[in-house]
Homo-oligomer: A and B are copies of this chain.
């Protein structure tokens, strides 16, 4: 085992610009629209986001500077190390090389703070003193609380009540970083009050939490709303992952044949893959695979439509692969992948044939996650286990085909806050979820009557 296991970049080598894939799409992306199909302009988004982020959201510039202060905070954990999973390769007996980018080294433990820090910064620069957001299991809420504390603004997180009650640790993490975390629905908002009056014991949902976070932010001129995935500027901020990985692969003299990321809203997948999609557009032979849960098959089974980002249809309509904004995924533990839609930029890349997608059931993912923990050591998040299962599939194919393939995956976060999920798996309490076509069609019907991209 004297060969290299990981490679670090020095802080001086951190990328100083984000990469905007929108500049390289051959066919431009359709714009967000209102329910009548009219394109949404920047002003319509101004009550929700600061104008500097709206500009990024709509930008066609290929490169966008990362502010020095943002870089200073990112350097707490970036550049992140690129690892070679030698022990896993050996266990699989594969001729493939498996590299992974370890985004679990950030203080909140995932890739999420890459955009949280940027968003907190641009809001503060715009004069905003308070951000609101929603969170499911708490990964995003803790990342934004962390970012707001270091940037020096306030943060209020509406956390889906069932997670608030059952998963208290992310909530405590938010509190350590000074974030205010309240259960959603909540009596603080009109939306919350009306839901609680009808159903005091509701478990809540991401859709409700988004509505509450929006309701709290919009009337306050010093507050804005923040989203941890889906939007173009979020994808943009995550590209620092792939830009670093390109430098690291270059230092190793390696050309990846396959790029893998798990995909829920799309941000960690985009973060690693977009710079490599740029390479692909410019002629490199490279497969780029988004892996999603079979229980939430947005790219593999859902139509490309205009759909709302939330269940209450408070957001503009976005062009995306969507299972329908009323879709309620089966209760898989990979909470970060349980989203009905897919980021418009990722969806567009899919339509343009730049990426492909596979869906994997959760038992295969947990099996892969355990094999990972037993060979590579680190315990992956349930979301990350989807990328791992995909990498194992690719490594086995390489073995069957006798090809020395170079695989690069995004290890999006650690699973130290998700140990109850492993416990359930080891107890044999988890199962795979079959999705009858009629069920998917029923949910898709919620998009009937919406404009088409």
Q: Which of B146, B150, B169, B419 contacts A173 (CB 8 A)?
A: B419
Stretch at the interface among A182-190, A270-278, A375-383: A375-383
Q: Contacts A107-B377, A107-B379, A416-B109; is A5 near B175 (CB within 8 Å)? A: no
Q: Contacts A416-B109, A419-B176; is A377 near B5 (CB within 8 Å)? A: no
Residues of A within 8 A of B (CB): 1-2, 4-6, 8, 10-11, 68-69, 71-73, 75-77, 87, 105, 107, 109, 146, 149-150, 168-169, 172-173, 175-178, 370, 373-379, 416-417, 419-420, 422-423, 426
CB of A378 within 8 A of CB of B107, answer yes
User: How long is the Cα–Cα vector from A422 to B174 in the complex, in angstroms?
Assistant: 11
Q: Which of B4, B176, B416, B419 contacts A422 (CB 8 A)?
A: B176
- Find chain B residues with CB under 8 A from A172 CB: 419-420, 422-423
Chain B residue at smallest Cβ distance from A5: B75
Q: Contacts A2-B72, A68-B2, A105-B105; is A177 near B374 (CB within 8 Å)? A: yes
CB of A149 within 8 A of CB of B107, answer no
- Main secondary structure on A side of the interface with B: helix
User: How long is the Cα–Cα vector from A172 to B373 in the complex, in angstroms?
Assistant: 13
- Find chain B residues with CB under 8 A from A376 CB: 76
Would you give the shortest CB distance from A361 to chain B, in whole angstroms? 20
Give the 7 A-B residue pairs with the shortest CB-CB distance, closest first. Answer: A1-B72, A172-B419, A107-B377, A8-B8, A172-B423, A5-B75, A76-B377
Would you give the shortest CB distance from A377 to chain B, in whole angstroms? 4
Chain B residue at smallest Cβ distance from A12: B4
CB of B76 within 8 A of CB of A373, answer no
User: How long is the Cα–Cα vector from A129 to B126 in the complex, in angstroms?
Assistant: 62
- Find chain B residues with CB under 8 A from A175 CB: 422-423, 426
User: How long is the Cα–Cα vector from A1 to B117 in the complex, in angstroms?
Assistant: 15
Q: Which of B10, B87, B109, B373 contacts A177 (CB 8 A)?
A: B373
CB of A8 within 8 A of CB of B5, answer no
10 contacts between A and B (CB under 8 A): A1-B71, A1-B72, A6-B75, A76-B377, A172-B419, A172-B422, A173-B416, A175-B422, A176-B370, A416-B416
- Find chain B residues with CB under 8 A from A373 CB: 107, 149, 176-177
- Find chain B residues with CB under 8 A from A69 CB: 1
- Find chain B residues with CB under 8 A from A169 CB: 169, 416, 419
User: How long is the Cα–Cα vector from A377 to B178 in the complex, in angstroms?
Assistant: 12
Would you give the shortest CB distance from A313 to chain B, in whole angstroms? 36
CB of A173 within 8 A of CB of B379, answer yes
Would you give the shortest CB distance from A158 to chain B, in whole angstroms? 19
Chain B residue at smallest Cβ distance from A426: B175
Would you give the shortest CB distance from A83 to chain B, in whole angstroms? 8
CB of A149 within 8 A of CB of B374, answer yes
- Find chain B residues with CB under 8 A from A146 CB: 377
CB of A76 within 8 A of CB of B5, answer yes
Chain B residue at smallest Cβ distance from A152: B374
User: How long is the Cα–Cα vector from A331 to B282 in the complex, in angstroms?
Assistant: 62
Q: Contacts A172-B419, A175-B426; is A68 near B1 (CB within 8 Å)? A: yes
Chain B residue at smallest Cβ distance from A422: B176
Chain B residue at smallest Cβ distance from A175: B426
User: How long is the Cα–Cα vector from A37 to B71 in the complex, in angstroms?
Assistant: 61
Q: Contacts A378-B107, A379-B107, A416-B416; is A75 near B1 (CB within 8 Å)? A: yes
- Find chain B residues with CB under 8 A from A4 CB: 11
Would you give the shortest CB distance from A192 to chain B, in whole angstroms? 24
User: How long is the Cα–Cα vector from A4 to B113 in the complex, in angstroms?
Assistant: 20
Beyond A2-B72, A107-B379, 20 extra complex contacts between A and B, CB < 8 Å: A1-B72, A1-B73, A2-B68, A5-B11, A6-B11, A8-B8, A107-B378, A146-B377, A149-B373, A150-B375, A150-B377, A169-B169, A169-B419, A172-B420, A172-B422, A172-B423, A173-B419, A175-B422, A177-B373, A416-B416
Chain B residue at smallest Cβ distance from A105: B105
Chain B residue at smallest Cβ distance from A173: B419
User: How long is the Cα–Cα vector from A182 to B306 in the complex, in angstroms?
Assistant: 53
- Find chain B residues with CB under 8 A from A72 CB: 1-2, 5
